[in-house]
Structure 1
Amino acid sequence: MAEKIPYYISPVTKEDEDAIVRLTKRTFYIDEPLNLAVGLCPSETEPCPELDAYCYSSLHDGLSFKAADDEGNVVGVIINGVCPLKEEDDGNDLLSQAQRCPNPKFQKILYILARRETGARLWEKFPQDKNAVEVKVAATDPNWRRRGIMNALVEETEKAIKQHGIRLARLDTSSAYSAMSAERLGYTCYYRAQYKDIKMDGQPLIVPAPPHVEDRVYVKELYPL
């Protein structure tokens, strides 16, 4: 007899918001390599409104999914948002956000994200596409890891992306483990840079602890042109 999968995948709803915030604050906020390297959130109770805005801005856009156990507890989440392949130079681009960010720790992270855009140059690699759906945040309850939750969340995400008529799924990785997962899921790396080489004023912006030595951008074409 096949083992019963003890969780269920479904779209995120407004009622899930508090549980998702609690889950991400005790996982992604404190153990994502860039967050950890700059000491952005030393504990799950440490406030960071800039990271809150980044994480939850697209939570209710209809492309994010949760995994819940038999009792309805959220044990995994993937937060996705539509993003243009080429940013508009309109003040909302990542470089402009970084330049005016009041939080010096998050400012460094934004500069890393801005370098990703100019380094990946996805608009040149996919000239027929205007947008992708980006995995912005992925988090699993530590007690529920290694049960296929993230694979299931990505699979549901890809179905939703195709239903929205978007061809490209994007997954940026600061973690070596996330990079391995992306490759297992059939994503192709279109940008990679050693953190020690991403510099400002001659000094590396952020250098996470090994094995998280590379910043990468992965893309998967969900159907042919």
Structure 2
Amino acid sequence: MAAKSSYSVEPITRDDVQQVMELLKITFYKDEPMNRAIGLCDGGAPCLELDDYCQHSMLEGMTYKAVDAEGNIAGVIISGDCPLTESIIEDMRTQTKNCKNLKFQKILHVLTRREEYSRLWERYPHDQHIVEVKVVATHPDWRKRGVMNALLARTESAVKQKGIRLLRMDTSSAYSAMSAERLGFTCVYRQKYSEIKIDGETLVEPSAPHLEDRVYVKELF
């Protein structure tokens, strides 16, 4: 796709799912630090669990695409409405235990630890829901053109319209963490990957500068 100068932000529809997944497989699947560290999709290997993770919230109504005049997708943001409740931890533990893909199981362990240690339901006891930004991806031709900022602004507007006060962004990448802070998010959990272990063994160890797993939250009103 040749680089263009303008784009519009629109809701993702069912007709977009295949094109969105194609974009994710050349960006998020390969570039996300934990995916790279464990070789989750090396050589283009399929990962049905990651497919399901990406598609699960795609049509919930707060997922957007940046699209150029020719209909090419320049970037996407996939978000989902999540209840703020401790019961999510047990659900995630069960999902992790039942995962047959041992590589993806390691990532699920990290995600579960985020919930166990961030304990957002205690930090925000008067809120019942939080919207989580689960995946952000920009086509290589469109990077550093403000696509992520535009997608996030549209998401924030949609979250406010639903009357939800909190927006969450988890970052496994040092670059994503810097972006979150620049965009007004506050870090509420951080842990070095080298310290996230099971039976004394580090689960996932991305290369520098991606040394910490973090959770960020933005209070919208």
Instruction: Tell me the TM-score normalised to structure 1 length.
Output: 0.94
C-alpha displacement at 1:184, in angstroms? Answer: 0.5
Deviations 1:69-115 (A, max 9, x none): 11110110000001122242696x21111111000000000000000
1:95-114 aligned at under 5 Å gives the runs: 95-114=93-112
Partner of 2:159: 161
Q: Distance in 2 between matches of 1:178 and 1:89?
A: 25
Gaps of 5+ in 1: none
C-alpha displacement at 1:144, in angstroms? Answer: 0.6
Indicate conservation of the 8 Å contact 2:86/2:121, yes or no.
Answer: no
Partner of 1:86: 85
When the two chains are superposed, the root-mean-square deviation of aligned CA atoms in Å is 1.4
Deviations 1:138-162 (A, max 9, x none): 0000111000000000000000001
1:8-47 aligned at under 5 Å gives the runs: 8-43=8-43, 45-47=44-46
Q: Look up the equivalent residue of 2:131 and give its one-letter code.
A: V
Q: Distance in 2 between matches of 1:79 and 1:211?
A: 25
The count of residues paired between Structure 1 and Structure 2 equals: 218
Q: Distance in 1 between matches of 2:88 and 2:123?
A: 20
Partner of 1:128: 126
Alpha-carbon distance change, 6 to 120 in structure 1, aligned in 2, over 3 angstroms: same
Q: Which has the higher helix share?
A: 2
SS at match of 2:136: strand
Q: Look up the equivalent residue of 2:58 and give its one-letter code.
A: L
SS at match of 1:206: coil
SS at match of 1:71: coil
Return structure 1 stretches of 4+ with deviation > 3 angstroms.
none
Q: Distance in 2 between matches of 1:216 and 1:88?
A: 21
Q: Distance in 2 between matches of 1:156 and 1:119?
A: 29
Partner of 2:60: 61
Q: Distance in 1 between matches of 2:54 and 2:84?
A: 19
Alpha-carbon distance change, 163 to 89 in structure 1, aligned in 2, over 3 angstroms: closer
